[in-house]
């Protein structure tokens, strides 16, 4: 088994954080996405959509999509449960995963593509598109702050896969994309400090 990875990319980091929380060790193989490694014909045989992370099992089955890879490991190693145990917990975690993905990571990706010189060759950049999505990033930050005002973690009072996904996504937005959350968002700041201080954040 191996996980195709790239240290600086946010989506493989989600999986690395998740695995660290579970205490699972998986060999990593780095794919240089900057030189198109995840779009090379031999890599497209592992993931026809391109992109990393990809988990390759010993029988050569390949699983892509960061959250799908996390779900695989949840099934194989149920403890500690990071996708919830009751029907309500599972639904709540799914709800927050979709909110982080669709309400935050999609806008972050659009600002990255349309507003960053590093991606100028990837798309025909439209600065107004970046501006619109930048607003959505900050709207999502405010909603996250509201949720974290009375919850220790994103989906309640236990650490879950949402925290792993949110930390990797938010750190990408704050860092490479250049859209940090404001210091006035005290609950989001408190959560960020807490989850960044866990050993898994270094994964």
Ligand X SMILES: N[C@@H](CCC(=O)N[C@@H](CS)C(=O)NCC(=O)O)C(=O)O
Q: How far is CA 139 from the centre of its chain?
A: 18
Q: With contacts defined by CB under 6 A, name the span among 47-55, 91-99, 110-118, 137-145 that binds ligand X.
A: 47-55
Using rule CB under 6 A, residue 107 touches ligand X:
no
* CB-CB contact of 11 with 53 (8 Å): yes
Can residue 39 be called a binding residue for ligand X (CB under 6 A)?
yes
The answer to whether 33 contacts ligand X (rule: CB under 6 A) is yes
Q: Which of 5, 19, 22, 66 binds ligand X (CB under 6 A)?
A: 66
CB of 68 to ligand X, least distance (A): 8
Applying CB under 6 A, the span of 3-11, 18-26, 147-155, 190-198 interacting with ligand X comes to: 3-11
Mark the segment that binds ligand X (CB under 6 A) among 33-41, 74-82, 179-187, 188-196. Answer: 33-41
Alpha-carbon distances of 127 from 136, 154, 174, rounded to whole Å: 15, 32, 19
- The residues that touch ligand X, with contacts defined as CB under 6 A, are 9-11, 33, 38-39, 50-53, 65-66
């Amino acid at each position: 088994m191996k996980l195709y990875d790239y240290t600086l990319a946010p989506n493989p980091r989600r999986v690395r954080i998740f695995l660290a929380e579970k205490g699972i060790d998986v060999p990593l193989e780095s794919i240089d996405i900057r030189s198109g490694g995840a779009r090379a014909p031999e890599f497209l045989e592992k993931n026809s959509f391109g992109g990393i992370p990809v988990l390759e099992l010993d029988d050569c089955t390949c699983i892509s999509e960061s959250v799908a890879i996390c779900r695989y490991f949840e099934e194989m190693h149920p403890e500690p449960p990071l996708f919830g145990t009751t029907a309500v917990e599972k639904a709540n975690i799914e709800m927050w995963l979709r909110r982080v993905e669709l309400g935050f990571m999609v806008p972050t990706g659009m600002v990255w593509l349309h507003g960053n010189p590093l991606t100028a060759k990837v798309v025909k950049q439209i600065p107004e598109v970046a501006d619109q999505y930048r607003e959505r990033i900050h709207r999502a930050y405010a909603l996250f702050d509201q949720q974290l005002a009375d919850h220790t973690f994103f989906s309640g009072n236990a650490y879950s896969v949402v925290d792993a996904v949110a930390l990797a996504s938010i750190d990408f937005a704050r860092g490479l994309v250049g859209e940090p959350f404001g210091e006035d968002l005290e609950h989001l700041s408190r959560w960020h400090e807490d989850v960044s201080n866990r050993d898994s954040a270094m994964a």
